[in-house]
Chains A and B, each alone.
Chain A
Amino acid sequence: MTGVRVAGVGLTRFGSHPERTGRDLFAEAADRAFADAGVDRDAVEELNYGNFMGALAEHQGHQAPLMAEAAGVRCPATRYESACASAGVAVREAVRTVSAGDADVVVAGGMERMTNLDTAGATEGLAIAADDLFEVRAGVTFPGAYALMATAYFEAHGGEREDLAHVASKNHENALPNEYAQFRKEVSIEEALSAPPIAEPLHLYDACPITDGASALVLVSEEYAAEADLDAPVAVTGTGQGTDRLALADRAELAATPAADAAATAAYDDAGIGPADVDLAEVHDCFTIAEVLAIESLGFAEPGEGITAARDGLTTADGDRPVNLSGGLKAKGHPVGATGGSQIAELTRLLRGDHPNSEHVPDAEVGVAHNAGGTVASAVVHVLEVAE
């Protein structure tokens, strides 16, 4: 087993780029990652690429070879698909490949093109992450599924829309200085509460936007980083994944995410740390309730107590443990197949000190990324640490 370093990260601006092709988006992210890493394209031994709905959005399957061309690399390339956790699993397999000594340099990331579809088309596309026979045919949309979880959470533990509004307001505030964020505007508690309903109890500002964007990471072995004299101070020290029943109705719990519990436990064990060691986290807040469930799975709050974390200031930028300093999916945006890579990119920048929000975590040494697919039938957790 060898150590894994993040040599470079690259993102596109997240947002609405309906005219831009997927290949162009990924090429931009990869270009930035190579420039950041100071690694030659020739050195890349594998490309792990995440994408969810390219076949629907761009009528483009078999995207991995296309993205290898776009990134200018000649190596085995594979597309990974686990809904919104597609890039998370792509990164995880890259970490395992480097860690096992099978390659010294792997590029991982992802891309999603979504805004060329109308709202109905995007809603239909996102819904295919759910069980078609038993959920989608019963009217379950992506927001609807999380709304079912929110209702169950409120019933089991209490909580109200205003608690969720604090999650939205926090993440929008965090996105203000982030040059890659889709929405750089404040959202007040009052605005969040008075927004139109999407799937009750979730309203417009409880939901992440529809986003185009791409992410790319250059991951290298510790030895390669040393030999090539790379400036790569951040290490991936833990990775974990969990899987649950696909349909929400088939899960043991409606108001918890056991797959993320499993992923977190495995990643913490891999890194030899526990939740108390974590300084900051990027979590999968596709909906405000998802951030609540995520921080409970990561062990930052007891089950049933995560609901008030944002409202009580525990997870705000100046709180004990800031969550989603990037703005999260909520405000930074959620290009589905790119998100898991972008979380690692943002954590890396935050830990290196070159993120606009690094000032809030000047002494941070340990960060965690939590990436979830569908209603958390898939979950991937990574631990990043400052190694030098």
Chain B
Amino acid sequence: MSDEATADGAAPTANAGYDEWIDALADGTGYALVCPEGHGSLPPRRVCPECGSSSLAEEPLPDRGEIETFTVVHVPSPRFADDAPYTTAVARFGPVRLTGIVRGVDGVDDGDEGAGGDAVAVGTTVEVGVGERETDGGRIVTFRPVGT
């Protein structure tokens, strides 16, 4: 059950595998797929994209991750028209990196020096969850900075 409506308002498309994954993330039971070699990946997968192993197990994501890079987006796509400016980040959670939107920090400013950079930096510890886009209510992966 995806809530990703199409641009013309047609019925949303289901994405089996992904939908269950983001449901679990929203319930606080997010997971990664891990092969015997320890490579992490995200569903849907039949084989490990790194080594081809078909032996993939669901492993719980660690409670906390670490931001490895981020950007403050000022020119959005239509789905994020009312969200901009917003901060997108890539964070490491154990065997995988996730891409999400940083929430729970003071509103980003429009200044030159890395808007949101006071609250978000490479190395910031975050929790992951699921939130809604302001523009259309679509579900998004969210990161919230936590005290270390």
Contacts and interface: CB of A to CB of B under 8 A. Distances in A.
B41 interface: yes
B42 A134 contact: yes
B99 A249 contact: yes
Given A134-B42, A248-B99, A254-B68, A155 B122 contact: yes
B97 interface: yes
A138 B133 CA distance: 9
Contact of B77 (A124, A202, A247): A124
B138 A249 contact: no
Contact of B99 (A124, A140, A143): A140
Interface in A114-138: 119-121, 123-124, 127, 133-138
Given A120-B78, A120-B81, A249 B90 contact: yes
A187 interface: no
B72 A250 contact: no
A201 interface: yes
Contacts of B73: 139, 141, 143-144, 147, 198-199
A139 B69 contact: no
Nearest to B113: A200
A158 interface: no
Contact of B74 (A127, A151, A198): A198
Interface string B59-84: 00000000011111111111111010
Interface residues of B, number: 39
Contacts of A136: 77
Contacts, number: 106
Interface string A79-122: 00000000000000000000000000000000000000001110
A197 B110 contact: yes
A149 interface: yes
A208 to B, nearest CB: 13
A141 B98 CA distance: 16
Contact of A254 (B42, B80, B90, B112): B90
B18 A199 contact: no
A250 B15 contact: no
A186 to B, nearest CB: 22
A271 interface: no
A250 B140 contact: no
B101 interface: yes
Q: Specify the main secondary structure of chain A where it touches its partner.
A: helix
B115 interface: yes
Interface in B94-148: 96-101, 110, 112, 114-115, 122, 138-141
B83 A139 contact: yes
B86 interface: yes
B88 interface: yes
A189 interface: no
Interface string A142-159: 011001111110010000
Given A120-B81, A139-B86, A254 B76 contact: no
A121 B76 CA distance: 10
A199 B42 CA distance: 26
B99 A119 contact: no
B90 A148 contact: yes
A154 to B, nearest CB: 9
A137 B34 CA distance: 23
Contacts of B49: 245, 250
B20 interface: no
B23 interface: no
A72 interface: no
A249 B80 CA distance: 20
B88 A144 contact: yes
Contacts of B79: 124
Interface string B15-30: 1001000000000000
A148 B74 contact: no
Nearest to A249: B97
A196 interface: yes
Contacts of A149: 69
B115 A200 contact: yes
A134 B99 contact: yes
Given A152-B122, A199-B75, 7 more contacts: A134-B98, A138-B88, A141-B75, A141-B77, A152-B69, A197-B115, A201-B114
15 contacts: A120-B76, A120-B78, A137-B140, A138-B140, A139-B73, A147-B73, A151-B70, A152-B69, A155-B122, A197-B112, A198-B73, A199-B73, A200-B71, A250-B49, A254-B69
Task: List 7 tightest A-B contacts by C-beta distance, closest first.
Answer: A147-B71, A249-B97, A152-B69, A138-B99, A200-B72, A124-B77, A139-B88
